[in-house]
Structure 1
Amino acid sequence: MKSVPLSAYQETLGMIYFARMLDKIRLHAADNLREDFCDNLGTGLDGRCAGFLQVDYAKLVERVLQGGTDEDILKWCFANGRALTELDIFIWNNYLKKVGWNDGTSEMLVRRKKESGLEDRDEIQTMPEYFEYDEGRK
């Protein structure tokens, strides 16, 4: 059985989601990423995260596959894209925690919940909450 990535709530230098994106890259390279994640690598929230950091996703993949800790790679992003301030990280984290709640991703959240048999779970209001249920952490 192939693996799901880390929780979107996992922090790297205070930033959520980044560790999840790197975990997906590593799992995919090891041919151990659950199939339903493979088609969207580098798009969706991965693309938004890389864009927020102003790094090219393909170059990020290359850097991840060279090795190093998540912290090392985030510092590489700061040096090769843009450094984030505490305010930037606060804004990113609060944005990410609310993705899918009354925004352009809401329809996708409804569809994903239905596909996963979670449509009756009203407590799932955001994509990160959906990930927790769909991936078996809740």
Structure 2
Amino acid sequence: MKTPISAYEKTQGMIYFARMLDKIRKHAAGELRNDFTENLGRGFDMRCANLLRVPYNTIRERTLEGGSDEEILQWCFENGRELNEGDVHVWNEFLRKTGWQDGTTERLTERKVESGLANCDEIQTMAEYFEYDEGRKSYE
């Protein structure tokens, strides 16, 4: 079973979108690590879909029809709303900082404990947590 790609991967400058599509594709292929399946379409997936004004299930269906991440994002712009440079900047900064002294901090702390990363002070945000939990960064 596999983890999704990094939340920091960009599609037309936008972080996370490629990760959401990667999770959709891996889940459909039966390759997504089991602990990711219960949150498909929730959390950042839901927030990303809401930002684009396209329902998550519609993005899922379009993704499974095929196409590159760029093509699917363009489709979202055409069928929801197009993001300008400022929108992308605000989204990226929101996603990069979620978990740092906000309403998600408690959940981040819980997830660090569950993953054996409670003492990893480098993890201050959910995006950084993903990097460690999914093995792209290591804590010793």
The TM-score with structure 2 as length reference comes to 0.97
Offset of residue 103 of structure 1: 1.0
The residue that corresponds to 2:111 in the other structure is 112
Offset of residue 110 of structure 1: 0.3
For structure 1, the 5+ residue unaligned runs are none
Secondary structure (helix, strand or coil) at the match of 1:39 reads helix
Aligned residues: 137
Amino acid paired to 1:47:
M
List, as ranges, runs of 4+ consecutive aligned residues in structure 1 with deviation greater than 4 Å. Answer: none
The residue that corresponds to 1:29 in the other structure is 28
Offset of residue 104 of structure 1: 1.1
Secondary structure (helix, strand or coil) at the match of 1:84 reads coil
Structure 1, residues 77-133: CA drift from partner, whole Å, max 9, x if none? 101110000010011001100011111111110010000000000110000000000
The residue that corresponds to 2:75 in the other structure is 76
The residue that corresponds to 1:54 in the other structure is 53
Offset of residue 6 of structure 1: 0.4
The residue that corresponds to 2:132 in the other structure is 133
Structure 1, residues 32-85: CA drift from partner, whole Å, max 9, x if none? 000000000000010001011111111111000000000000001101110000
The TM-score with structure 1 as length reference comes to 0.98
The residue that corresponds to 1:7 in the other structure is 6
Across the aligned residues of Structure 1 and Structure 2, the Cα RMSD in angstroms comes to: 0.4
Secondary structure (helix, strand or coil) at the match of 2:75 reads helix
- Cα separation, 2, equivalents of 1:38 and 1:121: 25
Q: Percent same amino acid among aligned pairs?
A: 64
Offset of residue 29 of structure 1: 0.2
Establish whether residue 85 from structure 1 lines up as the match of residue 96 from structure 2: no
Amino acid paired to 2:55:
D
